[in-house]
Amino acid sequence: MAESTQVQRLKEAMEAAGYDQPRLAKEAGCTQGAISQILLGKTQRSRYLADIAAVLGVSVQWLRGDSEYVGGPTPKVPVANDGQSIALRHVDLSYSMGPGTNVDDYPDESSFEFDAALLSRITRSPADRLFVASGGGDSMFPTIIDNDLVVVDTAQRVLNMQDRIWAISLYGAGAIKRLRTVGPDRILVISDNKDVDNQEVSADDIYLLGRVIWLGRRM
């Protein structure tokens, strides 16, 4: 029997993002069995489909087969030889935008040349799903200090791991914070600096730009 469009597209998206079933299940907050049910064509409307699509960086509509062209996967980051680099966007998060701001709305400071071999060891996400941002202020001290650089993976936009560091838009202002779910639709925004108060907010007030996957410090 021929595979459904949804099965084909899930396989395509997993291949493009470099995900196997265990990793996808972990980051999407579901079981491997739920992934298997979709891949075997046993369910067409899994309740985890939106989370799976967010992790893989595709649209739910594309994954379901509702749209032929919009929201499909992007190519994997190429595995490079020593000495090669990949240009990543360097985004300025200091600007205050509107609620629900997308990372594309933030201005670019420049491009940042990142060692391709190192990048391929850090993540399997494609380069156009990554951006570089600078640490500012002292709210995340000593974890992040002024002028530290972080790499943010925008393919990871589901808060399914506690106490990880995320690039966020909070009330329209960009920030890099540690997040923890503390109740239904409630999130604790944590500052690693003990002199800065944590803040409990509604999940509706936070827009996840992506998860911080690498930290670099200028010496």
| Model pLDDT, residue 96 | 54
Q: Quick check: is 172 in a domain?
A: yes
CB distance 187 to 148 below 8 Å: no
Residue 191 pLDDT grade (very low, low, confident, very high; cuts 50, 70, 90): very high
Residue 186 has pLDDT above 80, yes or no: yes
Distance (Å) of CA 155 to CA 105, 164, 210 = 17, 15, 7
Are residue 59 and residue 91 in the same domain, yes or no?
no
Residue identified by tokens 């609620």 is 99
Are residue 51 and residue 135 in the same domain, yes or no?
no
Are residue 129 and residue 174 in the same domain, yes or no?
yes
Are residue 52 and residue 89 in the same domain, yes or no?
no
Q: What is the CATH number of the domain that holds 37?
A: 1.10.260.40
Distance CA 156, CA 214 (A): 13
Residue 158 has pLDDT above 90, yes or no: no
Are residue 49 and residue 112 in the same domain, yes or no?
no
Structure tokens at 23: 């990793």
Distance CA 217, CA 219 (A): 6
| Model pLDDT, residue 160 | 82
| pLDDT tens-digit map of 57-96 | 777 778 887 654 445 554 443 344 455 888 898 888 876 5
Q: Where are the alpha helices (DSSP H) in 40-142?
A: 49-56, 60-64, 116-122
Give me the domain span that covers residue 188: 85-216
Among the listed residues 48, 77, 73, the one whose alpha carbon sits nearest the alpha carbon of residue 158: 48
| Model pLDDT, residue 116 | 84
Among the listed residues 40, 64, 42, the one whose alpha carbon sits nearest the alpha carbon of residue 53: 64
Q: What integer is the mean pLDDT of 180-198? A: 93
Residue 97 has pLDDT above 80, yes or no: no
Residue 10 has pLDDT above 60, yes or no: yes
Are residue 210 and residue 107 in the same domain, yes or no?
yes
Q: Quick check: is 38 in a domain?
A: yes
CB distance 106 to 93 below 8 Å: yes
The pLDDT > 70 percentage for the chain reads 84
CB distance 8 to 1 below 8 Å: no
Number of domains in the chain: 2
| Model pLDDT, residue 98 | 55
| Model pLDDT, residue 48 | 87
Are residue 126 and residue 185 in the same domain, yes or no?
yes
Structure tokens at 207: 């827009």
Mean pLDDT for the chain overall: 82
Are residue 26 and residue 96 in the same domain, yes or no?
no
Q: What is the CATH number of the domain that holds 191?
A: 2.10.109.10
CB distance 163 to 151 below 8 Å: no
Residue 13 has pLDDT above 70, yes or no: yes
| pLDDT tens-digit map of 36-55 | 999 998 887 788 888 888 88
| Model pLDDT, residue 99 | 54
The rounded radius of gyration (Å) of the Cα atoms in the chain is 18
Distance (Å) of CA 40 to CA 3, 17, 65, 113, 209 = 8, 20, 16, 41, 32
Q: Quick check: is 201 in a domain?
A: yes
| Model pLDDT, residue 80 | 42
pTM for this model (two decimals):
0.63
Distance CA 61, CA 53 (A): 9
